[in-house]
Amino acid sequence: MSRSSIPSITIPFRAHTLGNGMRIVVHEDRASPIVAVHLMYHAGSRHEVPGRTGLAHLLEHLMFEGSEHAPKGAFDDLLERAGGSNNGSTWLDRTNYYETVPSHAVELPLWLERDRMAHFLSVLDQEKLDLQRGVVINERRQSYENRPYGLADERLSELLFPDGHPYGWPTIGYVADLEAMTLDDMRTFYGTYYTPSNSVLVFAGDIGPEEAFALAERYFGDLPAGPALPRREGESVEPAAGHRRETMPDRVSFPRVYRAFAVPGYGTPDWVALDVLAYLLSDGESSRMQRALVREGRIAQDVDTYLYPTELEAVFGIVATARTGIPAERLEEAFERVVAEVVENGVSEDEVVAAVRRTRRDQVAQLANVEERAESLAYAATTLGDPGRFDEVMAAYADVTPEDVRRVAAEYLRPERGATVVVVPAAGEVQDAA
């Protein structure tokens, strides 16, 4: 299996910047009569301050509660009537709002996004804040608290990133902070970050660049740029010395081990090599972790490795759930043994090429729809400063060598760079009833 068998991935685009600094990116693809519109603000939970965690995400919820000319309910109503879909999401580095519509309706999301970018604060009130605060606290309960192992990731981030590091708190926020949030908090964050100069607007699908640029000018060109923001470059924090670990009792039947390492951020050459390493370790039944822990070792029900594409630094994680009667320590020993084998003996060219092909399989599937392509361009523009960096990152996979994989494993997966959370069945764990 040679490297020539690795398919290439590119997303062609044209870019333009409005007078107010808003960046416009257009990817034309006429295969289906739909257009994805993707608006990304460079504002995520890392732009919050301790004591107000969860602000960015709560604001995202409020953005769906109406603006001056599209009152509560109108946003979803107008888009659904037109056959469109829409959503938003908040993560560490960015918040995005996106709509996919049949191509006749492309102006609708632009008009709606303009309204909530320019005519939002006047209709934001305490009642909306209180209501969405309740929805978000229920989201936290449903997605984290009422779910087995649900709070492990939150604890892992707290351990991995030192005090005050902006990746140290969860995007959903802490309940006490959510309860303390005020309208002024919302207004300040919105006024600082929800501006043309801090956003990227991507069109993908059944539209050409000239039409898209003209529409962007019409709907956003007259808005004020917003305050200049300091680029928070070099915010990367050296990991705290020594491995941090914690054991969390939970209402679960089997121990599960979460281990994570802080590694170079999205798009760097080492990040790409680490992504290949993640696939090589646990994607596919023949991968090293699957064999060592599940298929041959038979100490785990499942094992997974993952790499987050975050900006300041990324997180490389390994998670495994123990089989009946297996203590968590055996999983940790196996993690370390598998990584040590990679570091000491290296990996083969065939193994790397196969892993790269599997990354391609997932990338190709993900990029099959225009919504994902729009997000990929917006994300590269937001976190790497240039939508064209997306193609470069994709191309870099084909150049990853066995030595790169060995080196990044040796450099970044040392225990002293990591943190571990072990979730164990709480004492007397029995689902008995009253």
Partner 1 sequence: MPHNAAAPRVLPAPALGAPPVPRVPVPERWTLPNGARVVFLPRAGIPQVALRLVLPAGSSADPAEYPGTAALVASLLTEGTRGYDATALNARIDALGASVGAHAGHDFAEVEMTLLAGTLDEGIPLLAEIVTRPTFPEDETERVRAEMLDAFEARQDEPANVADDRTLAEVYGEGHPYGRPSFGTAEGVGAVPREALAAFHAARFRPEGAFLVAAGDFDPAELRALLESAFAHWTGGAEPVAYPAAPARPACAGERVEIPWPDSAQGEIRIAGTGMVRTDPRWVVASVANYILGGSTILGRLGSNLREDKGWTYGVRSAFSAGVAPGGWVAETAVEGEFTPRAVEEMLGEMRRMMTEPVPEEELRRAKDALILSLPRAFETPARVASRFATLEAYGLPRDYWERFPEQVEAVTAEDILAVSREHFDPARVVCVTVGGAASGEQVEESEEEE
Among 54, 226, 255, 264, binds partner 1 (CB under 8 A): 226
Question: With CB under 8 A, what is the number of residues at the site for partner 1?
Answer: 95
Sheet of 85-90: strand order equals 14-17, 23-28, 199-205, 34-41, 95-102, 85-90
Phi and psi at residue 204, to the nearest 5°: -140, 130
Q: Which of residues 377-416 bind partner 1 (CB under 8 A)?
A: none
Residue 307, amino acid:
L
- The tokens describing 331, both together, are 């999983």
Nearer to partner 1, 142 or 247 (CB): 142
Nearer to partner 1, 105 or 202 (CB): 105
Span from 45-53, 75-83, 328-336, 339-347 in contact with partner 1 (CB under 8 A): 75-83
Nearer to partner 1, 142 or 236 (CB): 142
How many residues would you count in the chain? 434
Say how far apart CA 92 and CA 277 lie, in whole Å: 23
Q: Which of residues 205-224 bind partner 1 (CB under 8 A)?
A: 206, 218-219, 222-224
Nearer to partner 1, 148 or 327 (CB): 148
Query: Rule CB under 8 A: is residue 349 a binding residue for partner 1?
Result: no
Each residue 169-198 as x (binds partner 1 by CB under 8 A) or -, in order, gives ------------------x---x---x---
Residues with Cβ < 8 Å from 334, sequence gap 6 or more? 289, 292, 293, 297, 299, 300, 320
The packing angle between helices 402-412 and 269-282, to 10°, is 90
Among 16, 85, 183, 268, binds partner 1 (CB under 8 A): 85
- For 284, 289, 346, the CA distances from 297, given in Å and listed in that order, are 16, 9, 21
Among 121, 183, 229, 240, binds partner 1 (CB under 8 A): 121
Beta strand 14-17 with 23-28: parallel, antiparallel or unpaired? antiparallel
Nearer to partner 1, 107 or 344 (CB): 107
Residues with Cβ < 8 Å from 25, sequence gap 6 or more? 13, 14, 15, 200, 201, 202, 203, 377, 378, 381, 387
Beta strand 34-41 with 85-90: parallel, antiparallel or unpaired? unpaired
Each residue 234-273 as x (binds partner 1 by CB under 8 A) or -, in order, gives -----------------xxxx-------------------
Nearer to partner 1, 31 or 427 (CB): 31
Span from 106-114, 153-161, 241-249, 261-269 in contact with partner 1 (CB under 8 A): 106-114
The answer to whether the CB of 256 falls within 8 A of the CB of 250 is no
Name the H helices within 22-64. 55-62
Least distance from partner 1 to the Cβ atom of residue 9, Å:
9
Span from 32-40, 44-52, 236-244, 305-313 in contact with partner 1 (CB under 8 A): 32-40
Among 180, 298, 401, 403, binds partner 1 (CB under 8 A): 298
Query: Rule CB under 8 A: is residue 82 a binding residue for partner 1?
Result: yes
Q: Which of residues 414-433 bind partner 1 (CB under 8 A)?
A: 431, 433
Span from 40-48, 131-139, 308-316, 382-390 in contact with partner 1 (CB under 8 A): 131-139
Query: Rule CB under 8 A: is residue 143 a binding residue for partner 1?
Result: yes
Least distance from partner 1 to the Cβ atom of residue 148, Å:
4
Phi-psi map region of 103: left, alpha, beta (phi>0 left; psi -120 to 50 alpha): alpha
Say how far apart CA 414 and CA 267 lie, in whole Å: 21
